[in-house]
Amino acid sequence: MFFLDILSGVLLLVGVFFGFTGALGLFRFPDFFTRVHAASVTESIASILILTGLMLQTQFDLNTAKLIFILLFLMITSPTASHALAKSARHGGLLSIPESKKKKENS
């Protein structure tokens, strides 16, 4: 059990580090479309690591199954949400960096 505790602690701390990295990226990246990439770091790998770390803390019963379900659900919905966000930004007329460069050259 001791070994599992250490493994889960390491997973949790690494997951939190990735989460913090993503939040930093939200402030450091230049435009909206690149910031979505930074946010997706926190949404994919940080959730995987933190939820896996919590799974190792359970007695492998119903709670583990619930954690697996939360993980699966986040894996399906968070890309959907960022896709919808990027799509609506494009329809709203926001240009990404390569597109706005091209526009400047043309005008």
Closest contact distance (angstroms) between CB of 64 and other proteins is: 10
Q: What are phi and psi of 31, to 5 degrees?
A: -135, 175
Q: Please give the Cα distance from 34 to 64 (Å, whole number).
A: 34
2-61 binders of other proteins (CB under 8 A) = 5, 9, 12-13, 15-16, 18-48, 50-51, 54, 57-58
104 binds other proteins (CB under 8 A): no
Closest contact distance (angstroms) between CB of 38 and other proteins is: 6
67 binds other proteins (CB under 8 A): yes
